[in-house]
A and B are shown apart, each in its own frame.
Chain A
Amino acid sequence: MNEELDSQLSAMFDDELAPGECELMARRLSRDEQLKARWGRYAVVGAVIRAERGVRLNAPLAGRVSAVLLAEPALTAQSVPSIPQRAGLRWWQPVAATALAAGVAAVCVMWLHAQAPGYGASLTAQLSAAPIRSDTPVIPASVALSAGQPDSYTVPRTPKTLPGVVPSTELANYVVAHSMFSPPVARRNLLSAFMTSEPAPGGAEEPQGNVKKTTGP
């Protein structure tokens, strides 16, 4: 591996590489096994060691490394055609250490997606949510209603978000229904975001089931 490439990889690890170069590096990572292995040593192993020592990683890098680890069950879940009733459990299963290679591949995907500022921020938030475990626990709903004492909490895994996705008709329904219960500013932001999301490919979405559908007002 040449010195320049090694330097770029190091800069990427330190979150000091320009976004455009990051994207190129991410693409190269996806097809260069040697580079991939080196990134694995830099990022994944290093992150795990730091995490085990209780060292808090700084910068969006922490979120992206975390995303590699956390995205793995999601990728697995999507490849399984038959899901048990409690499908969400797959998201909560421990990540096996042997998933490292696939995780490195996933980091390339995350790099590309993370170019959207909002998405990067959310990834950062995921990892840094971990330290709040002890002092801001999640409260059982029944207790919360009576303002009682909180219980312990395990930080949820990072969901596989789809930034900028056009809401399906179903999601549009949920967004509109929810907006009626949001504070005014949040409601305006939510509806504005819905209005300005990427145009949908194709035409009308065919509704499913027994729906009330007409061709005019």
Chain B
Amino acid sequence: MLVDERAAPRRRRARQLPGRAVHAQGRVLHSTWLSHDLLLTTVSLPLTPLLTVTGARFLADDGPAVFDVRSMRWSAHAAESQHVMVTMRLRSRPPVHASWGRLVLSTSDGRVSMEPVDFAETITDLRTLIRESLADRTADERADLLAFLLSGATAPADLGLSQSLHAAREVLRERLVVSAPAPRSGHGLWVDSLLGIDDTTFYVQGWLWDGDAPLRRLTAVSPEGDRVELAHRMLRHFRQDVSDFYSPAFGSRAYGQFGFTCGFSTSVPSLLVDGWVLEAHTAVDDEIEVTAPPVTWETRVIGERLVTQLSLDPDPDGPLRVEHVYPALSRLQERRHRSVEISELTQLGRPAAIPTVSIVIPLYGRTDLLEHQLAEFALDDDMRQADLIYVLDSPELAAEFRNRAARAERLFGVPFRIVILSENSGYAMANNLGASVTRAPLLLLLNSDVLPDKPGWLGRMSAFHASKPHIGALGCKLLYEDDSLQHAGMYFERFAGSRLWYNGHYFKGLHRSHPAANAARRVPAVTGACMMIDSELFQSTGGLSGQYLQGDYEDSDLCLRLSEIGKEQWYTPAVELYHLEAQSYPIERRRLYSEYNRWLHTRLWDSQITGLMRAFPTGSARAEPSPPRRSDRTQVR
């Protein structure tokens, strides 16, 4: 049965091929496994050197299903034969002694069939195969072979294949002069770090000194041999240390932009940590290379490094952000979220039969807030009837947390579920995964550092939600520990000289009794610290966006999405809770994350926010119009 997926439609019968009949026979020389399902074979054909090979097929013979057969002519120097490289994928590695079938090549001169051969007998190791085939090859021919091997290796990612390709690369690669930066040398190349965002997305930082002659090409070569051109897309920047290194010998010429930072993609997945090489080619045909340090794969480190790159260029529309850092961070977040899942879901206590509200509370780091919340919830019947879900986003605390949660349920008597995630995933994912297991029609997102003022608040909040037909998200009054306002609705504002939108909180810092904050009203957005939304609506929007770093702007992002589909965001002062937002002194990293989030938020929502804020006041304006002035006639003697 013919299973070649690159062939013409499968309705053709086996062994009956179009074209001229076979008129020659070839011979399989060597084969080797590049991965568990990819076979490389060299065959020899008794053809004239000018013949071109146009295709290859495999006629399976009750053997393994074979597909994706590719070929490349690989001329031999012997006048009477040519070599062709063929790669093919098999659905499963066949047993050693089965008879496989027949390899048939199509050429400009007709079809050539190989002698029926038991491929298993031709299996050898990769180095031997390449060595046998490589006698007297030019550098270009070797590069062609490497490119050919890569072309058959695009997906899926496979460590065995990566290692084979790396071995092939090491044999086939043209080695350049290794860069050895010296103060008097006219060229130098160095890689400071190489970040592996996912198996086809990378980010490189380093420096390149081209004092002698300008750079023409900068090529990143993956361990597997994939080549990516960087020179035209990378961003160059000033590097004090590099300039200081070369200035004694080169004077003012040493003060230029010799650092580079660049995000890029490979066409072939790269899984190996060691083996990346950067090659530089200058205008005077100098070629140097440098080995990159091992690839950094830890997502947290990558996130930090990418964010610190932002300080190189503050321009919000500049290429650094738009073409390099943002795409990289975007892919990083996707990678983080792909792998995280719920590793445990446990019910503690007897839950309500038909809960009306599901409450999702992510816990991260400070898990002692659990007991504080439960001590309050225990005084409130509404909470015993709710579908309470605590999501532990610090899985390293799982063992201790499980015990504490069980004990707390026994003492406080409020039933709840615990969700333990497979890895730390951040605010958005923790909420989304918690929301994925809710049972009630209404969803409340609640922070772990929120404490109710008085019992009965949940029922009041639900009632308000039910009273507004077009409601999207509902927020409520949140107080600091000193009874001042932490949240009474959110708005967006821009400051002079900046295009970026900031999230503002109406009346923040004023006393809880401030009149304007005690009016129920529509608002541009509400905080995620205590946000009520219809469960299905939440699911239909896709939940909180995982694009933002370290929990910031996800709430306003959701509200803007809701606004886009015609939903209204509302604020009710009849529900009051405390939100103990701690004033931790900002560290540099947190500030950079905030800036990135703000930039991303503006990039995604600029025009919508501009439109929305025409209908709402900002925090400095009155929430309600001032009362009309009394006429002067009231001033009576």
Indicate, yes or no, whether A interacts with B. no
Measuring CB to CB, which residues of chain B are less than 8 angstroms from any residue of chain A? none
Instruction: Report A's interface with B, CB cutoff 8 A.
Output: none
